[in-house]
Structure 1
């Protein structure tokens, strides 16, 4: 029985990886960040996966609002290093901003 990483990498073999910025898996759902259109579903070794697709800039905007749902819940096995750095920088900036707002609330 292939593990999640193998399933994800087999699914990516069906696409041009040049256009994939980030790929993660959770149960029967694949998170794919790509600048090209992708199908809504894909079959890998008899298992059907739903594809949650985002454009790179769209994902950066959404991950700030829904970090837990769109980033932390997925096992990310494939990413472009510079894009992952942008995601982590964006999340760090958002966290510092939240902490600053919390601090302003407690220390008027």
Structure 2
């Protein structure tokens, strides 16, 4: 876990932490949500890490369609306001699904 955290923080520093809204890791892949373009791979010592970058608005839209894009990653770095947006979005999607299930069962 600590190694994953260090990896993400090193990648965030390399791409410019002031531009990153959210960063997480799954295996050898780091997800970066940022308006700024970044490389698709970074070498950290002997380790090569793939980077999957998303624009912040595009990422919100994609999370609506596929929550695993958020849930499958261990989120290590985030801007509080942006994380709040994502969590509010996921909560509203869950409420919508529950109300839909409730309506269908009546």
Normalization by structure 2: what TM-score? 0.93
Deviation per residue, 1:13-72 (Å, 9 max, x gap): 11211110000011100010001111111111221111111100111111122112x111
User: What's 1:16 paired with?
Assistant: 16
How far apart, in 1, do the equivalents of 2:57 and 2:13 lie? Answer: 24
Question: Alignment RMSD, CA only?
Answer: 1.1
Structure 1 stretches lacking a partner, 5+ long: none
Matched position secondary structure for 1:18: coil
How far apart, in 2, do the equivalents of 1:80 and 1:53 lie? Answer: 16
Structure 1 stretches of at least 4 aligned residues deviating more than 2 Å after TM superposition: none
Q: Please say which of residues 76-85 and 12-21 is displaced more in the overlay.
A: 12-21
The 5-angstrom pairing of residues 30-41 of structure 1 reads 30-41=30-41
User: What's 1:47 paired with?
Assistant: 47
